[in-house]
Amino acid sequence: MWGGDTLKKFMKIIQMSYMGQTNDGYLYVLPRILVKLLYLLPMLVLWRVLAKQGANLPWTLSQLLSYTYVQTLFADLLVVQTEASSWNYEGKLVSYFTRPFGVLRQLVAQTMGSWIPMLLFFALPMYLLSPLIGIDVIPRTFWFFPSLCLCVMLGFAIDFIFVCVTIHLRGMAWLGYVIRMSIAALFSGSVIPFSMMPVFLIPFLQIQPFGSLAGAPLSFLVGQAEPFRVIGLQVFWNMVLWPIAIGWFRKSQETMVSYGG
Amino acid sequence: MFKQESIDISCTDIVVNVQQVSKVYMQIQRDLAGQGLIKGLLQPQKKKINALEDLSFTIHKGEFVAYAGPNGAGKSTTMKILAGMLLPNQGTVSVLGLSPHLDRIPLMRKLGVLFGNRTELWWDHPIQQSFEWKRVVWDIPKPIYQENLALVTDLLDLRPILKTYARELSYGQRMKADLAMMLLHSPECILLDEPTLGLDVVAKRRMIDFLKYLNVQRGTTILVTSHDMDDLQEMAHRILMISNGRLVYDGHFEGLRTITGNMTRITLTMNQEIEPGFEFGTLLEASQGVYQFEVDLMRYPIESVLQHLSQIQGIQDIEINRAPMEQVISELFQRWKGTP
Amino acid sequence: MVKQSIRRYFELMKLYAQMDLGWLLRDTLFAVLALSADVVGTVSSISGLFLLSWRLGGIGEWQREQVLFMLGFATLVSGLFQLLFTGNNTGHFSRRIGRGQVEHMWIQPLSFPMQLLTEGFLPFTASGNVISGTLIVVFATTLLSIDVTFVWILQFVGLLLTSLVTVVAISYLVSSLAFYSPVQAEEISTYVLDSLRHLRNFPLNAMPKSLQVTLLSVIPAGMIAWYPTTILLNTSQTSWRMSVPLIYSVVLSMLALTAIRKGLRYYVQTGIHRYLVHGHRR
């Protein structure tokens, strides 16, 4: 399944995706970096403000800062979003079927290639700078790494399911996209940790599938997760959603191809 | 290299006037690996492309002009300059007496523009709605709009699709609808960039007939680009040929033949599978007793050729055809490609 | 000339309103989804911070009701932006530039400002946030027992409009980058407006002065909701502060206009060799 040739093709697609973003020069990564910094700084300040005002926070300031900092650095991985939904609307996804390589693999490779500029030019420098600004980015437990892998895998599965939703929505694809992004932002725990939400909401937020995205590895990062429960939930949702994603995607191919024209 | 044939034109008003227009693009070049890749990150290499070089031509009212050239010759660049989307680096342009760049709004009230690979229709609305949108935005008086709508609906057979969403139309139907929409404001001059691209034979036929109708009956000036030489030859009276950004020919289609020689195809069907001794031509094809020769009638007068043929034994049938215009153009493109 | 322009403006707004209504009524499922998408988007964008403020009883010096008012105001600004500038990517001009769709604008006998001010009008399908924002503001106003006078309403509408102009101006300012790099900057207005949507939700009163100044100047997030809220809730004492959002929006608009003009001049020199139909008249 993943022989030398397959890996070579996969890497080539990653390379093309990465170069497509940088062919006009690297200067244009700057606005995206600035935007990320604008996202990050107020959140860091907010936690400091809340800590200073003596708010009854369930986590320490250090944990909150780490959570938000790492979430910003790895946002693309923590809530995966492929370009499939918008492509589908254009019928661009159809061209993937003309290549001798799995469509979903192409999407995965394309997406991973798109991550590289921000990982190289934002995440890495910021990671190295973190000790200087007093933020601890070292995971408190090694469970962070498997959890991150499961998070990325689940992110792709959820994204592929949403691709199928947009296929069936046809001319309303962008509506599906808006709803999806809204749900993912709130329910993944990427903006505000679940522990900071009203207490009656926390169990529901942790158990639903989006809760196994950003919130899961980040809670391991700050040492606030029970491995068995969190990893267990991530494995569970991966096992449930991947077959649905692949099955539904295969079933939707005819609609996809006909609609795309 | 430039050749111009005299053309008898009864109309005198100049609709399109292009004088000494040049256009240069800069293209970024990227190495894939090694030192070039690193160097390219900091100081990208740029290549200068002369899209148009000292281009000059005029089009008079009522003319139907074909604008042809190989890929990358500068056809679309010219069209965009005429539509005001691009500014030439040098030279002057006027369309209907107006500057496309400075007088864009009044010009667009009189000019029709259609690019073959893009639509002006509203995707999620019925065709009728797109037409209605055009009426309001172009501020077309209702009587003129109604009259034009009736005309295009009838001539382009749009009635069955007026209430259909643009997204549900076939490509050919969409092109028809786009063409109809372009004409609703009674443009005096039309620019068409590859309008027959991707159309089937029936749709193509309809479009050509319609354009000819517009030109003859309404006196609309038309400038059309296409790669299909047969289509262009049928539609247009005059052809402007462009190669490497330069005008290389301006005249009738027939005049093109004289540049490469008056090449003619003579096909001989023989009683037996024996190659006839035909000295005037080059053998192109031989198959089961059918032999096709190419003869340059500028070199060998037709009388001599016919006399020679009458002396060949065993001929069952003779077919004489002009070389396809595609072939003539192809040879010209090859020739001009090498010319600085 | 002015009279004619105003007439044309309303004529075009009427046309696009009719088209939007037609689009909405042709497909009920679409209608429901369109309105739902707006509401879901709104709820999700403000609920994180709102739930946090609810759990902690407020943020900084602000009570949770004041935070709610600010979030409602921010939602209304988004709502107006969507109502007037969602259609045809008029509010995300970088998409039009990056996808080569600006060429369609050239062949219309309308000035570019007239096209951009009218084509985006979606009074029916994009009204969700106006409605939800209004409801949140009304609810918060009731909770805060604000004395809603005619003057206060005028102030409210005026500040709403200046915030809207600020958002549009910043969108066009960053969109102008797409003239120089169509591929990379195609979605730049989306990134920036999404970031502003996130940043504007923060009450700045508790933030360090340096951050306050930054978010009230270079990055106008604070100007969109927080600063107008301080005026409307009378938490700000000085009357001259009323003119600050207006001056800011005017200056930003001038900068945006200059950048777009410069970009268009560059565009007609270099052209664009890219065309994507995605989002064009859809």
Closest CA to B256 of B235, B233, B278, B272: B233
- May I ask the CATH architecture of the domain B3-21+54-258? 3-Layer(aba) Sandwich (3.40)
What would the mean pLDDT of B311-340 be, rounded to a whole number?
Answer: 79
Asked whether the predicted pLDDT for residue B8 surpasses 50, the reply is: no
C169-180, pLDDT tens digit by residue?
A: 999 999 999 999
A2-46, pLDDT tens digit by residue?
A: 667 788 888 888 988 887 777 666 666 787 788 888 888 888 988
Minimum Cα–Cα distance from B40: chain A residue: A25
B260-314, pLDDT tens digit by residue?
A: 677 888 999 998 888 888 888 888 888 888 999 988 888 888 898 999 889 888 8
Q: What is the pLDDT of residue C156?
A: 95
What is the amino acid identity at position C47? Answer: S
Asked whether the predicted pLDDT for residue C259 surpasses 80, the reply is: yes
Question: In this complex, is the C-beta atom of C181 within 8 Å of any C-beta atom belonging to chain B?
Answer: no
Better-predicted residue by pLDDT, C109 or A82? C109
Q: Which chains touch A (3 or more CB pairs under 8 A)?
A: B, C
Among C39-43, C208-212, C262-266, which is the least confidently predicted range? C39-43
Better-predicted residue by pLDDT, A102 or A169? A102
Cα-Cα-Cα-Cα dihedral of A12, A17, A19, A22, to 10°? -170
**Locus of tokens 């004409």:** B183
Q: Residue B10 and residue B223: Cα distance in Å, rounded?
A: 18
Question: Across the interface, do A31 and C60 touch by the CB < 8 Å criterion?
Answer: no
Helix (H) or strand (E) holding A174: helix A173-187
Average pLDDT, chain B: 86
Q: Which chains touch C (3 or more CB pairs under 8 A)?
A: A, B
Range of the domain at A100: 4-260
Asked whether the predicted pLDDT for residue B87 surpasses 90, the reply is: yes
User: Would you tell me which residues 106-165 of chain A have a C-beta closer than 8 angstroms to some C-beta of chain C?
Assistant: none
How far is the alpha carbon of B37 from chain C, nearest alpha carbon, in Å? Answer: 19
Tell me the helix, strand and coil percentages in chain C, rounded to 5: 75, 0, 25
What is the amino acid identity at position B258? Answer: T
Q: Residue A156 and residue A147: Cα distance in Å, rounded?
A: 14
pLDDT band of A261, cuts 50, 70, 90: very low
What are the strands of the beta sheet with B282-287, ordered from one edge?
B282-287, B290-296, B263-270, B315-322
Average pLDDT, chain A: 85
Among C138-152, C223-237, C242-256, which is the least confidently predicted range? C223-237
Q: What is the pLDDT of residue B7?
A: 45
Identify the bridge partners of residue B287 per DSSP, sorted by sequence position: B290
Q: What is the pLDDT of residue B10?
A: 46
Q: What is the pLDDT of residue C48?
A: 83
Q: Cβ neighbours of residue B116 under 8 Å, at least 6 residues apart?
A: B175, B192, B193, B194, B195, B196, B197, B198
Cα-Cα-Cα-Cα dihedral of B172, B174, B175, B177, to 10°? 130
Asked whether the predicted pLDDT for residue B228 surpasses 50, the reply is: yes
Count how many pairs of residues, chain A against chain B, have C-beta atoms within 8 Å: 10
CATH fold, domain B261-337, is Alpha-Beta Plaits (3.30.70)
Asked whether the predicted pLDDT for residue B227 surpasses 90, the reply is: no
User: Would you tell me which residues 39-78 of chain C have a C-beta closer than 8 angstroms to some C-beta of chain A?
Assistant: 40-41, 43-45, 47-49, 51-52, 54-57, 59-60
Question: In this complex, is the C-beta atom of C60 within 8 Å of any C-beta atom belonging to chain B?
Answer: no
Q: What is the pLDDT of residue B9?
A: 44
B193-224, pLDDT tens digit by residue?
A: 888 877 888 888 888 899 999 999 999 999 99
A148-196, pLDDT tens digit by residue?
A: 999 999 999 999 998 888 777 766 677 777 778 788 888 998 888 998 8
Contact indicator for B291, B232 with CB cutoff of 8 Å? no
Q: What is the pLDDT of residue B46?
A: 78
pLDDT band of B11, cuts 50, 70, 90: very low
Domain-by-domain residue ranges, chain B? 3-21+54-258, 261-337
Helix (H) or strand (E) holding C106: helix C103-106
Question: Across the interface, do C44 and A186 touch by the CB < 8 Å criterion?
Answer: yes
- Total domains in chain A come to 1
| pTM over cut 0.80 | yes
Burial class (CB in 10 A: 0-12, 13-18, 19+), B142: exposed
Do the strands B3-4 and B90-95 form a parallel or antiparallel pair, or are they unpaired? Answer: unpaired
Closest CA to A43 of A68, A7, A10: A68
Q: What is the pLDDT of residue C165?
A: 97
Question: In this complex, is the C-beta atom of C275 within 8 Å of any C-beta atom belonging to chain A?
Answer: no
Closest CA to A259 of C35, B17, B167: B167
Among A170-174, B149-153, C102-106, which is the least confidently predicted range? A170-174
Q: What is the pLDDT of residue B196?
A: 83
What would the mean pLDDT of C209-227 be, rounded to a whole number?
Answer: 91
pLDDT band of C39, cuts 50, 70, 90: confident
What would the mean pLDDT of C250-272 be, rounded to a whole number?
Answer: 94
Burial class (CB in 10 A: 0-12, 13-18, 19+), C157: exposed
